[in-house]
Structure 1
Amino acid sequence: MDKNRKWKWLLFGVLLVCSIWMVTPPGDIKDDKGNIVKKGKINLGLDLQGGSSFLVQVDREDVQRKLKEKESNVSLEDEVERVREAAVEMIRRRVDVSGTAETEIYKEGNDRINVRLPGVAAEAHAATREMIEKDGVLVFKLVDINSDQYVAELMTERPAPDGFTMGAGYYLREKGAPKLTREEYEKLKDYGDFPADLMLEKVTLDDGTEIYRPIFIETRIMMTGADITSAQTGTDPMNGGFTVDLKFGKEGTKNFADLTREYAATESRAGRQLAIILDDVFYSAPVLKVPILNGEAVISGSFTADDVKQLANILRAGSMPGRVKVIEERTIDPTLGKASV
C-alpha cells in the first residue's frame, strides 16, 4: 500500500513539473559570454500587448473611375474584390518591410480590411496610417519647357490657392492649415488653367520655415517605378540631406537609359529637367546632364530620417493596386494587457 502511494506521489510530482514547464514562458537564451541571442517571451496579441488597429476600405470611386478609363467590362464588385485581395498582400508586405511582427491582416465585409498591429506605439500611429494609405506610385515626368513663364504668370495674375498665402516667388502654408492630402495635390494640378500640371516643391529653409515653390510638369508619364529592385536610404554628398537611392532591374535600366539619353544635354541643347513624383507629390527635378546608364536614380528633397525610411519601405514593397483609405483607427494602451499577464 505504501509502495503504491509512493508511486502515485512520484507520478503526481512529474505531472506537476511538466505542467508548470508548459505554461511558463521560456527564458532568454544566452551565449557563452552571457549575451542574449534569443529573447524569451509570451507572444502577446493586440489586446494584451497594446498597439494600433486600422479598418481600411477600398476606395470604390477610384476603382470605378479606373474601370471607365480602361473601358473594362469587369463588374465593380469583382474589381473591388480584386483590389482588396491585392491590397491585403501589399499592406502585409509594407508592414513586414517596416519590421512589425505578429500582425493580423484580414478581410472584413465586402470591401474592408482589418489591420491589427501589436506593439506599434502611439507615437508611430500616424506614420503607420500614412504607410497603409499611400499609393506608392512613382512616376518620372519632364518639367515643362515653359515652366518659368507659367510660374511668372501664376504669381502675378492669380491669388494663392486655398490654404496658402503669397510669398516672393513661392507660397506659404497658412497657420493652422492641415497637412496637404493627395486629393489636394491632385486639385492643384489644374489650378490656373495652364497646359501643364501645377505642382509644388516643398523646401525647408535654414530657419525651419517651409515654403512651396510652384513648378509646371508635363502631363505625360515618361516612366514608372514598376521595375525598382532596390530602394535604400542615403545621404546627399553635396548638402548632407537625406535621400532615397533607387536601383532598377534589367528592363528598368534600359528604359531609364533610353529616357535620359534622349533628354540629356548635348552640344546643341541644354538638358531637360526630369521630375520625380510619388503619389502626385513632387520631390525633385534634376537636370539631365548626361545619360544615366547604370539604372540608378536618387530622390532628394526636404526629408527627415523617418521620411526617407518610410519612402524606401514603400518603394521596396511596391505600389497599391488601387486606393484604400482608413475609415476607423484606434490605439490600444498596453497597461491593461501588462496587468493581465
Structure 2
Amino acid sequence: MKKPFVNLIIIILIFLCALFVDVSHENGLRIGSLQRSGNLYLGLDLQGGMQVLLEADVEDGTVVSADQLNTARQILENRSNGLGVSDVVFQVAGSNRILAEFPGMTNTEEVLATLKGTGLLEFVDTGDEFMMEGDPIKTDLTVSSSEKSSETTTTAAATAANLTDSSDSSDSTETATEEKVYHTVLTGAALQNVSVQMENSTPVVAFELKSDASQTFADFTSANIGKYLTIVLDGKVISSPRINGAITGGSGVITGNFTIDSANALSVQLKYGALPVPLKIVEYKMIGATLGEDSLKKSLVAGLIGLALAALFMILYYRLAGAVAVLAIIFYGAVSLALYKLIPITLSLSGIAGFILTTGGAFDANILMFERLKEELRNGKTINQAITLCWTRAWSSIRDSNVATLITAAILFYFGSSFGATIVKGFAVSLCLGVLISMFTAFLVTRTLLHYTTKVVKPENQNKWFGV
C-alpha cells in the first residue's frame, strides 16, 4: 500500500510542475538558473524565417574534420544568440557544410553580418573605462588604412578651413575626433589554453598564455593595476574585467557574474574566437510559414477531435480501465508540452506529427495492458492480482515495440543530422521523447491510477466495469 501511495504523490507533483510550465508566463519562465521564454519555439514552417547554408571555404582536396565543423557550429551558434534568437538551429550537413535556421528572423543583413564575422579576439586597454557587454569598440588593430586616410583627409580639411573660418574649424575637429580608438594589447592568438573553474562556488574563466605573450601580459598588468582590460570579439565587448593584480605567471582568471552556462560560452569564445575553418555563404533564403495561423488552429482542432474519438473508444470498450487510460494520456500530454518548453524543442510540422504518433503509441501500451488485465480476470484472478500481472506480462511486448521505435528514431536523427534534413531530425526528436514519456506513463501512471480507482469504485461486476 505504501508504494502505490508514494507513486501517487510523485504523479501529482510531476503533473502540477508540468502544468506550471505549460501555463504562459508574461515575464518568461525561470527555474533556478534555467530561464526560458515560457512559449513554444516554433520552426520555420510554422512562423517563417531565414535559412542559410554555409560551406567550408578551402582548396579542393583539403579535408575538413568533423571536430572543426562542430567547433565552427558552436561558435556560430554563440554569435547568433546575440541576435536574441534563442531557438536558432545550427547543424552540420554532410562533410563540409553547416545549415543555419533563424525562425522568425527577417533582418537579412544582421544575420549575414553575424555569420560572416571574422572572429577576431582582442585584449584591449580601456584604462579607467568599464565597457558594457555588447558595446561596439574601435581598436588600433582594426583601424584600416582607408579609415586612417579618411581621418588624415578630414584633418587636412579642418586645417584648410582654419585659414578661412575659425568656427568651421571647431566643428570639423569634433567630427574628426569623436570616435575613440583603444590600444590592443594581445589577440586571441596569444591564448594557449582556456577552461572553466570554480572559485568559492562561483564559476570563473581561467586562461594560459603562450610563452612569447606572457612577458607582454606581465608588463602590461603590472603597470595597469586597478584599470580595465576589455575583451573584444569582432569589434564588440564580451567582458570588461578589472586588473586586480600583476599577472606574471602567464595565466590568470576572468571573474564576473557568471553562471556555468555563461562561463562556458565565454570560454568557447576565448578559445575559439576565430573559426577553425573558413566558411562562405553558399545560399540564403527567406522562408514563409507554410502553415498559417488559421491552418494551425484547424490542425490542432482536428488533433483534439481525433484524441476525443480515441478516448471515447477506450472508455466504451475498456470501461473503467479506459477512463484511467484517458487520465494517463492527459498526464502524458502535459509532461510532453512542458519538456518541449524546457529543453527547448523547436516545434515544426514534423514535430507535431511525431507527437501525435507517440500519443497513439501511448494508447497502444495501455491497450496491451488492459487486454492482459481482461485475460487475468477471465482466469479467475482478483482485481489486485490482475492489475499486478497485466503489466508484468505485457511488458515484453511494450518494451520490444518501443525499443524498435527508438532505434528507428535514432537512425532518422543520425541521417537528419548528417544531411541537414531538419524535418527528419525534428520528427525523430519528438518521436524519441514521446516514446520515453509514454513508457513512463504506462509504467507508473496507468498502474497506480488503476490501483486507486479500483479501491475507490470497488467494482464487483467485471463485465460492467472492465468489459470482460
TM above 0.5, yes or no, is no
Structure (1 or 2) with the greater helix fraction? 2
Structure (1 or 2) with the greater strand fraction? 1
Larger RCO (CA under 8 A, 6+ residues apart): 1
Q: TM-score range by the shorter chain?
A: 0.3 to 0.5
TM, length-normalised to structure 1: 0.42
Q: Which has the larger radius of gyration?
A: 2
